[in-house]
Amino acid sequence: MTTFAGLVPAAITPMTAAGQIHEEAFRRVLDFNLQAGAHGFWVAGGSGESIMLDDSENRRLAEMAAEEVSGRGFVIMHVGAPTTARAAALAEHAARVGATAICCVPPFFYRRTADEIAEHYRVVGAAADLPLFVYNLPSMTGVEITVELMQTIQDTVPQLVGLKHSSSLFANVYEFVAMGLQCFIGSGALMAPALALGAVGCVDGPPLMAPEAWMKIWAAHLAGDRAQMDEAQLQARAVITLVRQFGGGRFFGVMKAVLSHRIGMDCGDPRLPAAPLTAAQKREVIELAESLGLYPAA
Amino acid sequence: MTTFAGLVPAAITPMTAAGQIHEEAFRRVLDFNLQAGAHGFWVAGGSGESIMLDDSENRRLAEMAAEEVSGRGFVIMHVGAPTTARAAALAEHAARVGATAICCVPPFFYRRTADEIAEHYRVVGAAADLPLFVYNLPSMTGVEITVELMQTIQDTVPQLVGLKHSSSLFANVYEFVAMGLQCFIGSGALMAPALALGAVGCVDGPPLMAPEAWMKIWAAHLAGDRAQMDEAQLQARAVITLVRQFGGGRFFGVMKAVLSHRIGMDCGDPRLPAAPLTAAQKREVIELAESLGLYPAA
Amino acid sequence: MTTFAGLVPAAITPMTAAGQIHEEAFRRVLDFNLQAGAHGFWVAGGSGESIMLDDSENRRLAEMAAEEVSGRGFVIMHVGAPTTARAAALAEHAARVGATAICCVPPFFYRRTADEIAEHYRVVGAAADLPLFVYNLPSMTGVEITVELMQTIQDTVPQLVGLKHSSSLFANVYEFVAMGLQCFIGSGALMAPALALGAVGCVDGPPLMAPEAWMKIWAAHLAGDRAQMDEAQLQARAVITLVRQFGGGRFFGVMKAVLSHRIGMDCGDPRLPAAPLTAAQKREVIELAESLGLYPAA
Amino acid sequence: MTTFAGLVPAAITPMTAAGQIHEEAFRRVLDFNLQAGAHGFWVAGGSGESIMLDDSENRRLAEMAAEEVSGRGFVIMHVGAPTTARAAALAEHAARVGATAICCVPPFFYRRTADEIAEHYRVVGAAADLPLFVYNLPSMTGVEITVELMQTIQDTVPQLVGLKHSSSLFANVYEFVAMGLQCFIGSGALMAPALALGAVGCVDGPPLMAPEAWMKIWAAHLAGDRAQMDEAQLQARAVITLVRQFGGGRFFGVMKAVLSHRIGMDCGDPRLPAAPLTAAQKREVIELAESLGLYPAA
């Protein structure tokens, strides 16, 4: 049985100039992170342009991730969708092609009751029959997975094993850990303090650009060296500051620009309505990334 | 050129037992409302299960609405989608099959800048080249279309003619009217006061169940009979209370149950994760609807 | 028994250069409004610098308002305070010196339960044994008086007769009216539409500067002339725009500057931390006020 | 010069049966905490019933705290008030009677601009000319002290040395530390992770009841023993759970009941509108406190 722990970068979805998934670039991004020590991936989630992908694209990402990672780590495949039927179909597919686990945002746009949310997770969980992670992302979904709501889900969904916690209610990490859940902190800025609260690791986009920085946190954690852990966390924050260089909404573009540079293959632009970076902005972030000294130029 | 004004019920999307669009029921619902005097429809919006529909279903609804309404009113087709490309494709299709206008929620889930939102509307507006209504629905999209944001959109999108205002910032109706926009109030509970502020009409789901109640408000408005207008508004509120009988999230189910009864054809259940009404709940709402005396039993 | 209805300007608290209450100016402001037809006053509320006043100042305002208005209208005295004991003491005093009614914000700063809020109102209501108005001002108190909470208060407080509703949940006016409450709308921008929903009048600060504008709305309402009502409402909005000329937080300063001009006596500056207007800003708002043509220069 | 660091319990304000400050109990509570190792106190803040105290009571608390603590720790005196003048007068008094530092919530109730808030702090800071801590308590004040706002304050107020951060934006601890501020975390549940981010200590109410639990965190922090730190943090959380036993708003009552038991002197009830605990509830929390085994029965 898979142990879900460690550094789990959230994969971007590289695009060709024509706006299709750039399959080779996607594989290279994963491989590059595995070589840096990443333990697994969160695929087609918020950083992967999630709900901007068609279901057929989600399926292709699941296949490729399972193939590429094969035996070298774990794949937590995102299957969130506006209807239970679509999410369940993606979940069933993810299991079929070899994902290690699935993750799913709660239903969004329309407001749902706790029972409707739990039932959604029950159907989706049963469709994959894989370990299931709840994706707590209230800034985008409008739904805070409170301790009470998580309890309802836990009572309803036998496949539930954990969550990615991307909420401002940081102290709830404790509560989820106490419930026996494997809690990944959803902010790369808080990996060290979250590990201190019992979180099992970190899932976020910025580590995909610079896994080296977060692997140092993880190594220090394993070594029980808190001073080194805090120091590494401080360095990692510089990467996050870079990702937010042009405002929070431009994080896709920054990640794609830096990763293009690091893997030596163009990862393209995010889909509209996300505005692309200009050529000058791309140059700027690459220079900034190199100046951080966190990783060598490609 | 079409005058957009009056009562514009938001269409539900009737479903078969197998979960497909029930085409005949959809047409009957529109016809029933036209016979009651409705001036047009808001199709595939929030009350129409919107983002729970596939794009092919959205297209089919556009075709049917244009055919069914043909010459008897106007069709404002909702084309909102997570990517600009998908929304623009739906917009182009809506224009091609004869919709009178389009409407579009701002991009949701990911947070966007004002410029990204305006650019989204610019592309979508150009794709249809029909009158365009912004759909201000912050409770679901997480985006309040403020006066400032609307100004940016107005400066960017030549097709913009108005909006559906479903926000708690009621006094903004004044501002939008002062900007020369045709403002439909998005709450059936506020049709009369919104008309007093210069709104051109009402778009909401509950009027689809009982257009008679809201047509009285409209008639009184045209006659300049304010006392009658306020009285009619009070009666209409009873319908809204009924729609919320089992909590806000059950409004789909209530609307489908009552409309099934009124048109004599089963409109089915909403899609999951929206929980269906039980048989007992369906009976209860039909009895309540009849007891309101707002319309005769079918 | 007093009928609470009509235009009820919220009184400012004029200050001397030394920062004390300017008693003569306070009386003149009330007299000026009574001569313009105002039906009563809301004293020491949000526009009156409320919680920035000492209890002894609140008492002095109550005495002066009762004396000045005496027989020419009604005085609704604000008695809100952080502790129940202080609010009750102010309530008892207001009754003793001749206020017609009291009003009270719910406890603020600390979050309270519905029962604690209702008990607060019960004690305060009993202390005055005058008609009591709840002051629903969530933007400042952090407490939305929902329909459910108001029901709890109504079940607990025999003196409750109504409320000032300064919340974005405009449609709740209906609900409060249906509960038998006398609902004053707390936004001068919405007097006409609120009257259409059953509100009994308007309590707000801007009407104090230009009661003429709002008296036209009231006269048209009594005459049942809706077109005139809407026209007058539109004119009144220009006054509100003026009040917000330098940002929402400067409304005290604008009101004091314009009223100084209108009554011919300096009403001073608001207390710090509210920043005073500069001399140039004061001139600017007086010129703007005159240019509105809503009232003659003093 | 004082080093502000470590465990800084937020003092309650014990009351007599007649509702006056119980001076002897207040002194005993401080002494008990000093004996347990507390480094200083946060006096008359949120846990001390703050804005429910009269200014004369605030002054008496300042005097007593300075006398009682004298040389055994530091006293950070809260001087927040609705007007700048009142806050400045309390600040001047605190300095005069020997407080070590002052702290102050931003202006509340009315919304203020960044400039108004900074000016408020400037005047208050100058009045005491002691080290000044900002009190970031958005759940009560409605004002989030963002990094930008803090920068404005830092540019304006020479006495500024740090803050108590009681906000859900946990990651901002990093930012405030990077600005050179001494950041106390305002949640006893997050002392260990906050220390890991560079916070200098913890200010909160629950530690006042059971300083032993938090002193273990501090000792482990000084020893660099992270495993022990996390273990101690976990134990401390049980105290916080106890404080919230009857809902968040009852925390005053629980703290007073447990402290009455620990110091052997009745600390009374919180002021209304805070509902007092029943006798049965008081017994229940004392039993629970003893069962935690964190401290011996008094």
**What's the CA gap between A271 and A257, in Å, rounded?**
14
Residue B298 pLDDT more than 50? no
Write the residue in C108, C111, C116 that is nearest to D275 by C-beta: C116
For C228, nearest residue in chain B (alpha carbons) = B196
pTM across the whole model: 0.92
The predicted-structure confidence for B203-242, as pLDDT tens digits, reads as follows 999 999 999 999 999 999 999 888 898 889 988 988 998 8
Q: Give the full edge-to-edge strand order of the sheet including C132-136.
A: C6-9, C201-204, C182-185, C160-165, C132-136, C101-104, C74-78, C40-43
The predicted-structure confidence for C77-100, as pLDDT tens digits, reads as follows 999 999 999 999 999 999 999 999
Cα dihedral A245, A249, A252, A255, rounded to 10, equals: 20
Chain mean pLDDT for chain D: 94
Write the residue in D168, D196, D233 that is nearest to A168 by C-beta: D168
Residues in B closer than 8 angstroms to C196, CB to CB, are 192-193, 196, 226, 229-230, 233
Backbone φ/ψ region at A98: left (φ over 0), alpha (ψ -120 to 50), beta: left
Q: Give the full edge-to-edge strand order of the sheet including A74-78.
A: A6-9, A201-204, A182-185, A160-165, A132-136, A101-104, A74-78, A40-43
pLDDT band at D297 (very low <50, low <70, confident <90, very high): very low
Residue type, C135: Y
For D221, nearest residue in chain A (alpha carbons) = A226
**What's the CA gap between D256 and D259, in Å, rounded?**
5
The predicted-structure confidence for D187-215, as pLDDT tens digits, reads as follows 999 999 999 889 999 999 999 999 999 99
Interface residues from chain A to D (CB-CB < 8 Å): 168-171, 174, 187, 189-190, 192-194, 196-198, 224, 226-227, 229-230, 233-234, 237
CB contact under 8 A, D196 and A193: yes
pLDDT at A234: 86
Measure Cα distances from D180 to B55, D74, D161, D177 in Å: 54, 20, 8, 5
Asked if residues A41 and A7 have their Cβ atoms less than 8 Å apart, the reply is no
Helix (H, G, I), strand (E, B) or coil at A10: strand
Residues in B closer than 8 angstroms to C226, CB to CB, are 196, 224, 226
Average pLDDT over residues A68-92: 97
Measure Cα distances from B68 to B26, B39, B60, B203, B243 in Å: 9, 13, 12, 19, 26
**What's the CA gap between A270 and A253, in Å, rounded?**
6
Average pLDDT over residues C238-249: 83
**What's the CA gap between B230 and B235, in Å, rounded?**
9
Looking at the complex, report in whole angstroms how far the Cα of residue A220 sits from the nearest Cα belonging to chain D.
12
Residues in A closer than 8 angstroms to D227, CB to CB, are 224
The predicted-structure confidence for D48-66, as pLDDT tens digits, reads as follows 999 999 999 999 999 999 9
Residues in D closer than 8 angstroms to C272, CB to CB, are 83-85, 119-120, 123
**Terminal Cα-to-Cα distance of chain B (whole angstroms):** 36
Asked if residues D12 and D46 have their Cβ atoms less than 8 Å apart, the reply is no
Looking at the complex, report in whole angstroms how far the Cα of residue D19 sits from the nearest Cα belonging to chain C.
10
pLDDT at B294: 62
Contact flag for C and A (3+ C-beta pairs < 8 Å): no
Residues in C closer than 8 angstroms to B187, CB to CB, are 171
Residues in B closer than 8 angstroms to C243, CB to CB, are none
CB contact under 8 A, D230 and A197: yes
The predicted-structure confidence for B168-197, as pLDDT tens digits, reads as follows 999 899 899 999 999 999 999 999 999 988
CB contact under 8 A, C193 and B196: yes
Chain mean pLDDT for chain B: 94
**What's the CA gap between C191 and C217, in Å, rounded?**
8
For D6-291, CATH number out of 3.40.50.720, 3.40.50.620, 3.30.70.260, 3.20.20.70 equals 3.20.20.70
Residues in B closer than 8 angstroms to A275, CB to CB, are 113, 115-116, 119
Percent over 90 (pLDDT), chain A: 85
pLDDT at B234: 86
pLDDT band at D294 (very low <50, low <70, confident <90, very high): low
Looking at the complex, report in whole angstroms how far the Cα of residue B110 sits from the nearest Cα belonging to chain A.
6
Task: Assess whether the previous peptide bond of C273 is cis (omega < 30° from 0).
Answer: yes
**What's the CA gap between C192 and C225, in Å, rounded?**
11
CB contact under 8 A, A111 and B139: yes
Write the residue in A198, A226, A234 that is nearest to D226 by C-beta: A226
**What's the CA gap between A252 and A238, in Å, rounded?**
17
CB contact under 8 A, A170 and D170: yes
CB contact under 8 A, B123 and A272: yes
pLDDT at C272: 95
Interface residues from chain B to A (CB-CB < 8 Å): 19, 46, 50-52, 82-85, 107-113, 115-117, 119-120, 123, 139-142, 247-249, 271-275
Q: Which of A240-249, C31-40, C58-67, D105-114 has the lowest mean pLDDT?
A: A240-249
Measure Cα distances from C186 to B55, C13, C136, D19 in Å: 45, 18, 9, 36
- Could you state, in order of their start, the residue ranges of all structural domains in chain A? 6-291
**What's the CA gap between D185 and C261, in Å, rounded?**
50
Write the residue in C46, C51, C109 that is nearest to D140 by C-beta: C109
Q: Which of B99-103, B245-249, C105-109, D285-289 has the lowest mean pLDDT?
A: B245-249
Average pLDDT over residues C265-292: 94
Asked if residues D46 and D140 have their Cβ atoms less than 8 Å apart, the reply is yes
Angle, alpha carbons A42-A45-A50 (nearest 5°): 150
Asked if residues D130 and D124 have their Cβ atoms less than 8 Å apart, the reply is no
Residue C298 pLDDT more than 60? no
The predicted-structure confidence for C58-81, as pLDDT tens digits, reads as follows 999 999 999 999 999 999 999 999
CB contact under 8 A, D115 and C52: no
Contact flag for A and D (3+ C-beta pairs < 8 Å): yes
pLDDT at A230: 84
